[in-house]
Each structure stands twice: as C-alpha cells, then as structure tokens.
A = this chain, B = another copy of it.
Amino acid sequence: MSKVGIGIGLLGMGVVGGGTASALSQKRDHLADLVGCPVELRGVLVRDVGKRRAIRLAEGMITTCADDILLSPDVDVVVELMGGQEPAFEYVMRAISLGKHVVTANKEVMARSGPEILDAARKAGVRVLFEAAVAGGTPIIAPVMRDLAANEVISIHGIINGTTNYILTRMEQDGADFGDTLEEAQRLGYAEADPTNDIEGIDAAYKLAILATLGFRSRIREEDVYREGITRLTARDFQYARELGYTVKLLGIATADVDGVQVRVHPAFVSADTMIAKVDGVLNAVEIQTDLAGKLLFHGAGAGSMPTSSAVIADIVEIARSLRGGGAPPPMPRISGDVRVKPMSELHTKYYVRLTAADHPGVLAQIANVFAQCSISIVSALQKWRDDDNKLAEIVFMLHPSSERAMQRAVRQLAALEVVDEVSNMVRVEEW
C-alpha cells in the first residue's frame, strides 16, 4: 500500500458499479471505522470517459485503459463489475497475477472459470470474493464457504433467477399465459429485450454451478447442469398445480448421494405449504441442507443496484479488514473433489403430466397401460378441460416417484399412442 488506506479499483461503471461507488463514498466514515483505515476508490475503468454519470468522480480517476488500474500501486483490491466472460476473466486473472485481491459479481466468469481463479488466487496468496455473483444482495456464498464450513452439503434448492420468478409469480396470480407475462415483464424492465438467458435457465445454471462447486467442493461445470426453461408452462399448468396443492417455480437443484451429484435447473411443482413456494416476484431464495446444520433458507433480493452493491462492499470490507492486519490472507478454498455428475436419466422423482387425448371410453385404460409398462404408478388422473368440437379431453396425471429414464420412455410412448393428441407438459414434482 503506497498510500494510507485501502485502494479500490473498479472495473465497470454500470448499475452495480455506480451503486458501489456511491455507497463507498456515502458510507466512507462507517467503512473506515469497520476496517480501521479509509477505503478509497482510486480508479474506475469505463468504456466512455465523456458519459454523464449520476456520481461525480475525481479528475484523473476515470480511465478506459484497464492497466491504469491493474498496474496501479495504489490499488489493493480490484472490483470487477463488467459482466460477461471476456475481457472480465482476463482482467481478473491479470489482477491476481499482479498480487491484487479481487471482488467480482460475475456469475458467468465464476461459473466457467471459478476453480482456475480460486487456484490462481491460492497460489498468489490473494483472495477472490464473489458474494454478489449469486442471489445479488442475499448472502449465500459467504454462508456456504464460511458459516457452513464444517458441514457436508447434502442438497441445494434455489430460486436464483428473479426474472423467471417474477414471470411465474404473475402467471400464478393473474392466470396469464407465458407470452403475455413475458411481454409485460419486458415492458416493466424485469426482463431483457432478449430474455433467453433468463427464461431458458442459463443464468440460473451459472449460479447453480457456482453454488454446487462450492457446496460439493468439486468442480461442477455449467454444462453439467441439466437445463429446461419456463417457456412451456401455461396458465392451465398453474391452475392444476393450485388445485393439487402446489405452485410452480423454476428451481436450481443440486443433490449429492453416494452415487454422485445431480445438478439441474427446470420448472418444478413445489408444495404450496413450503417456504420456497412463498418466494414471490423478483426475490431469490436458496435452501441448503447439510449434515450438521440441517435445513437453512436464505431469502432476499437477487439483483438490483443497491442490494448487489451491499454484497460487493461486504466482500471489499472483508478483504480490507484482513489486509489491515498485515498477515497472509486466509487461503482460498481448494476445489479438489472429483464427484461423478449423474446423468438426468438417473433422477428419481415424482411427475406431473398434462396431455390431450381422444374423449371416448378406453382411452384412460390405454394411457394407464403405458405408465404400467414403464413401472410408473399413478397417484391421480383427472380429466379437466374438454373440447367437445374435436372430441378431445385434457387429462392431468400425478405420478408416484419413478426414474427419469422410465418417465421419458413413457412420454415417448404416450405421444405415439393414436388416442393421444399431444403430451402438453411434463413437470417434475419436488419434495425435499
């Protein structure tokens, strides 16, 4: 440290960067008291120096050249808030190699390259903290890494994408269909113009890969995560879910047993009685089950400028406090496990199936026969909606636990039945 105090270099001045810079400035006295010395912003990487910004930055602090920050002897902690894989990943690795500590909110980089980053940090004797990368302002990375340090993680169930949870909440409350609700969410700014990352579960898969990697201390890649989006859900799925005592949520699920781990993001029926069913709108929640602590739930804001900067500054303070002490920082965790990632076909759970079939005697028998041949037991079969013109009926099945392999076979065979017009949806029913 060439100056008194801890120097912060900010890469990126978007919504979260602005919130972080502004909170660092507004809370400077409080942060100085917490750390024991000032925590000062000393450089900000932007794309456009001339852009008007809500926060006023001192002359000479803004640059369009990353090296001005990465190479600065006045910068102790590099805070990466650019998002996206490159050049963020390159800057993070370069910062580490230059002996800088790093705070990042970048889920993509941490999901794809987290273990390399942690490994490089461990070797360089610096820290990389990334609380804001999952669930925004809701503490979840630190709880897993620190508060649950003594625990083996058994399972993680999370609502970790606010956009889809907003859409699903509206669909449930308004009885609206997916397309209309997505449009509304886009109008309101809750969904992006290209919503693919959210509605196809890609964003949730990044976050689940990060949580599972930390929880199981084994590298879980984003491509290990089985992924299904929310686009096939309809107003009627919600109606039937409610009638059956459930609601529908996009869950990120990671489970471990003696055979390996399973990691998946898909819509799921969850019992309306559970706490996770109560997570509404853009909020996030993560439930973690461990050997010692049992079941824990963390619930709060999953995004937004202020909540995310709360997480970013917590990480900055954590690093600054250990820097102040002058010793070697605590080592970053080793992601050294090598668990088997089980294929989706080995999943064992309950299912909901909605299909349209010919409305005449004997049809249910044919369908039930397919389930029987696949060794799947039926909990209930309810004929719901009826199309008299086309002599079609919609039937909803709730099924006892079976393997995904059997279920996929059953769905294929059902679709091939002459009496079945369409297998409209198949949703997993999760209890844990």
Contacts and interface: CB of A to CB of B under 8 A. Distances in A.
Interface of A: 23, 27, 30-31, 33-34, 36, 131, 137-139, 142-143, 146-151, 273-275, 278-279, 285, 290-301, 304, 306-307, 309-311, 313-314, 317-318, 321-322, 324-331, 333-334
Contacts of A137: 292-294, 296
A381 B23 CA distance: 48
Contacts of A31: 149-150
B299 A146 contact: no
Contact of A325 (B23, B148, B290, B330): B330
A306 to B, nearest CB: 5
Contacts of A300: 293-297
Nearest to A143: B139
B294 A307 contact: yes
A204 to B, nearest CB: 20
A292 B310 contact: yes
Given A143-B139, A146-B314, A309 B331 contact: no
A292 B321 contact: no
A298 B143 CA distance: 11
A189 to B, nearest CB: 17
Contacts of A295: 300-301
Nearest to A313: B150
B322 A293 contact: no
A268 B355 CA distance: 46
Tallying the copies of this chain within the complex gives 2
A20 to B, nearest CB: 9
B327 A306 contact: no
Q: Which of A142, A149, A295 has the most C-beta atoms of chain B within 10 angstroms of its own C-beta? A: A149
The prevalent SS among residues of A at the interface is mixed
B328 A326 contact: yes
Contacts of A30: 150
A298 B27 CA distance: 25
Q: Which of A36, A131, A293, A318 has the most C-beta atoms of chain B within 10 angstroms of its own C-beta? A: A293
Nearest to A333: B34
Nearest to A285: B297
Given A142-B142, A298-B296, A310 B327 contact: no
B317 A293 contact: no
A60 to B, nearest CB: 26
A398 to B, nearest CB: 23
Contacts of A142: 142-143, 146-147
Contacts of A321: 330-331
Nearest to A150: B313
Given A33-B334, A36-B331, A275-B278, 10 more contacts: A23-B292, A139-B148, A146-B314, A149-B313, A150-B310, A292-B310, A321-B330, A322-B327, A324-B331, A327-B328
A307 B330 contact: no
A327 B325 CA distance: 5
Contact of A314 (B148, B318, B328): B148
A319 to B, nearest CB: 10
A328 to B, nearest CB: 4
Nearest to A306: B292
A246 to B, nearest CB: 15
Contacts of A317: 146, 149-150
B329 A147 contact: no
A306 B148 CA distance: 12
Contacts of A333: 34
A293 B307 contact: yes
Given A300-B294, A325-B329, A328-B325, A318 B146 contact: yes
9 contacts: A31-B149, A34-B149, A137-B293, A151-B310, A292-B313, A293-B300, A293-B311, A298-B298, A322-B330
Nearest to A295: B300
A293 B310 contact: yes
Nearest to A299: B297
